[in-house]
Chains A and B, each alone.
Chain A
Amino acid sequence: MKLSAISHLSFAALLAAGLSACGGSSSSDSDTEQGTTDINLSFAAQLNSAELQCGLNSETVGSAQTPADIKYFGAYISELEVATATGEFQKVTLNSAENSDVERGISLITFCGNQDAVSEETKVYNQIQGTVTESADYTRVRFTLGVPEQYNHLDATQTEGILAKSIFMHWNWTAGYKHIRMDVAGWNIHLGSTNCSGEGKEDPDSICSNDNRPTYTLDNMDLSADKIVFDYATLVNNSDVSMNTEMTPPGCMSGGTDPECGEIFKALGLDLATGQCLNNNCDTQEWVRVEKK
């Protein structure tokens, strides 16, 4: 049976009672669920230490210290794993939720919908919940920003759940998705896989050679007391978001020759030329960090 079929309430009760998880609702294979740990992650969006406001923020950002008028902020999170201080990383199986695709292991995090209309996407999705099959004190979190390549080019008329949820997160020109989308008046950041050849998913030679999917590891985290912060101000700290090179997309849309992408990719921990982590390690980045809730 699926873990998600058991309510949190029964888990909590069972764990509190110190019993192994073999509650009355379980089926005969329940002993494989022994020692399951619930993983509840909270996310927040900030400008330095200030909470990100949808619309005009009082906090100024970038090398020219200009105001940020934030229209949309969304990110896909995949390949979520946790580890103890010294142990191996364990896969987190996502719980069924409005912003999670359990089967594909992808969640959608959003902080601002469209400011001009009330819609599904004005909802804030800032939680990811799942389980790990071993009971332990997990203090490290690892995840990838973006939709994994094998799901990045599915037929849009066949997708359901979070891959169908948001038109804003589609990246139609690559027949794919945006891994991260931050729309800030006149200066957007759209991160997605680029340098694509081949015919999409039907074609074995199909590949977007520049993945542009950073993997981040966060250490020393108290999963229940801490939150994971996306700090837009740190991301654009070395970019002048008040100006854009003529005849290039406004801001950085992952273009390999777009001057506005240089500093943004560095801040993401990515090599603009290859789309891989700088020196095989994206953790040079500082814009995603752990803070007390």
Chain B
Amino acid sequence: MPRFIQLMLPLLATFLGACQESEYQRLQDTPAEGITLLQLNPTAGFAMPVVPETNPLTDAKVELGRHLFYDKQLSSNQQQSCESCHEQDKAFSDGVALPHGTTGDLLARNSQTLTNVAYNINYTWANPRLTTLEQQILIPLTAEDPIEIGINDANLNEILQRFRDQLLYQDLFSAAFPEEADPFSLANVIKALASFNRILISDRSPFDRGDLSQSAQRGRDLFFSEKADCFHCHDSFNFSQSSKNVNSLTIPSQRFFNNGLYNLSQDGDYPQNNQGAFGVTGNVNDKGSFRPPTLRNVELTAPYMHDGSIATLEGVVEFYANGGRHIQSSDDIDNLAIINESLGLPADAISHLQGDGRDNPNKQANGFVSGFVASEQEKADLVAFLKSLTDREFITDPRFAKPQALIERDARLN
């Protein structure tokens, strides 16, 4: 029996066990040829995500990707793995406003959830150019300013050699790329990580089971009403305008929105290191335009917004009810110290952030986030609805967890 199959057995056993105990029927037939690790919940009725022809999805690639995702040996100094900023119990986010990379650099944007990332039309917070996971993954792997995982020309061969030298990875790489004499390459690392990311599908929340409390039902109705108007940016199966699947014939023309978080000038400026899609397009109308993330598992992914500047879900609902954020003092913004640190400014500086986001011209141009009057009960109902999108099976699913082989190897190494 090949070593790869041996590695898989415990996983499959756990997995089959999980299936039998599940309270509803999972897909029995494989949703795509040759792949069993990507599973869809028939009750939720998701269509398959789009998989690029250049990187067909296979169980073997997913398994290699899962190992690489959890392995600190992928980073330049072996201090961080992808998991360091994307933890399963937080729906693959990290719980901090802004994360640090493996060499200690502070990033400018909040670590996003990897929930349903296979369905994204665009990747990262505000980049119309990035349309595949393969493109996006190059960024955390090879970014230099700030450094995240820290792979570069000088250390790439050394990093690949770490994997070449291990029997575990010899088996995983040759199973994933059986046609290749030397499968240890950056391109294959990217393909495997993208494949693992594609199976991170969350469609088993109380909302998907039709299991909503009275309060959550009222919140749902408010969420989809013209009054609160949440659904214009957070719509469809994935609660994000930036989503597509194999059945999508077109994609929405507007996928980036200014929600009035800042307004630092007549042009609707945001802080200089976070000008949204403007940073890529150079179009002033794109200042402060960001991609609406999925709201699935949003309860687990605090703090919120691209810079982590709103600490709680209640705060987010309040922010949208106000139709934007008017920053006058440090009381009006959460996690100020770390945001200032990312801008290279003193912890309590505030004048550079002051302004009334409710009047941001790019928000006005959208015609969304105009605010709404809601009672405390209605706000609580909205929060209850958002919490009904929390998928407890997703965050405990062994298909997505740190592989046993790595847990054992790391225990030996430490």
Chain A residues with a Cβ under 8 A of chain B: 113-114, 116-122, 153, 155-159, 164, 166-168, 170, 172-176, 194-200, 202, 209-210, 246-250, 256
B280 beta carbon closer than 8 Å to chain A? yes
Bound form: Cα–Cα A246–B155 in Å: 31
Bound form: Cα–Cα A140–B137 in Å: 43
When A119-B157, A197-B128 are in contact, do A247 and B272 touch as well, CB less than 8 Å? yes
Q: Are A157 and B134 in contact (CB under 8 A)?
A: yes
Q: Are A173 and B152 in contact (CB under 8 A)?
A: no
Binds A, one of B186-194, B202-210, B230-238, B319-327: B186-194
The 5 listed contacts between A and B (C-beta, < 8 Å) are A113-B154, A117-B158, A176-B129, A200-B131, A210-B282
Provide the B131-167 mask, 1 if CB < 8 A to any CB of A, else 0: 1101100110011010000011111111000000000
B343 beta carbon closer than 8 Å to chain A? yes
Closest to A156 in B: B138
Query: Quick one: which of A117, A153, A174, A200 contacts B154, CB cutoff 8 A?
Result: A117
Chain A residues with CB under 8 A of B132: 155
B344 beta carbon closer than 8 Å to chain A? yes
Chain B's interface size range is 35 or more
Q: Are B142 and A172 in contact (CB under 8 A)?
A: yes
Bound form: Cα–Cα A174–B145 in Å: 15
Chain A residues with CB under 8 A of B271: 247
Q: Are A167 and B129 in contact (CB under 8 A)?
A: no
Q: Are A120 and B153 in contact (CB under 8 A)?
A: yes
Query: Quick one: which of A122, A159, A167, A194 contacts B152, CB cutoff 8 A?
Result: A167
Q: Which of B264-282 contact A (CB under 8 A)?
A: 271-273, 279-282
Chain A residues with CB under 8 A of B272: 247-248
B130 beta carbon closer than 8 Å to chain A? yes
- In whole Å, how far is B56's beta carbon from the nearest beta carbon of chain A? 12
Bound form: Cα–Cα A120–B158 in Å: 11
Would you list the 7 A-B pairs with minimal beta carbon distance, nearest first?
A: A195-B282, A114-B154, A117-B154, A121-B153, A247-B272, A157-B187, A119-B154
- In whole Å, how far is A225's beta carbon from the nearest beta carbon of chain B? 33
Q: Are B129 and A174 in contact (CB under 8 A)?
A: yes
Bound form: Cα–Cα A250–B145 in Å: 10
Given contacts A119-B153, A247-B343, A256-B282, 19 further A-B contacts (CB under 8 A): A114-B152, A117-B154, A119-B155, A119-B157, A155-B52, A156-B135, A157-B134, A157-B188, A170-B142, A173-B279, A174-B280, A194-B282, A195-B281, A196-B129, A197-B283, A198-B128, A198-B129, A200-B129, A200-B130
- In whole Å, how far is A75's beta carbon from the nearest beta carbon of chain B? 15
Closest to A257 in B: B282
Chain A residues with CB under 8 A of B214: none
Bound form: Cα–Cα A117–B155 in Å: 7
Chain A residues with CB under 8 A of B186: 164, 167
Chain A residues with CB under 8 A of B129: 153, 173-176, 196, 198-200
Q: Which of B145, B153, B281 has the most CB of A within 10 A?
A: B153
Chain A residues with CB under 8 A of B143: 172
When A156-B135, A156-B190, A247-B273 are in contact, do A168 and B153 touch as well, CB less than 8 Å? yes
Query: Quick one: which of A159, A168, A173, A256 contacts B139, CB cutoff 8 A?
Result: A173
CB within 8 Å: A-B pair count: 103
Bound form: Cα–Cα A210–B145 in Å: 23
Query: Quick one: which of A113, A168, A195, A250 contacts B283, CB cutoff 8 A?
Result: A195
Closest to B189 in A: A157
B388 beta carbon closer than 8 Å to chain A? no
Chain A residues with CB under 8 A of B344: 246-247
Bound form: Cα–Cα A159–B135 in Å: 12
Chain B residues with CB under 8 A of A156: 134-135, 138, 187, 190
Query: Quick one: which of B55, B142, B145, B151 contacts A157, CB cutoff 8 A?
Result: B55
Bound form: Cα–Cα A173–B135 in Å: 9
- In whole Å, how far is B116's beta carbon from the nearest beta carbon of chain A? 20
When A119-B154, A119-B157, A156-B138 are in contact, do A199 and B131 touch as well, CB less than 8 Å? yes
Query: Quick one: which of B139, B154, B158 contacts A172, CB cutoff 8 A?
Result: B139
Chain A residues with CB under 8 A of B156: 119, 167
B54 beta carbon closer than 8 Å to chain A? yes
Q: Are B128 and A172 in contact (CB under 8 A)?
A: no
Closest to B186 in A: A167
Q: Are A120 and B135 in contact (CB under 8 A)?
A: no
Chain A residues with CB under 8 A of B153: 113-114, 119-121, 166-168
Query: Quick one: which of B55, B127, B157, B191 contacts A173, CB cutoff 8 A?
Result: B127
Q: Are A120 and B142 in contact (CB under 8 A)?
A: no
Chain B residues with CB under 8 A of A197: 128, 281, 283
Q: Are B154 and A121 in contact (CB under 8 A)?
A: yes
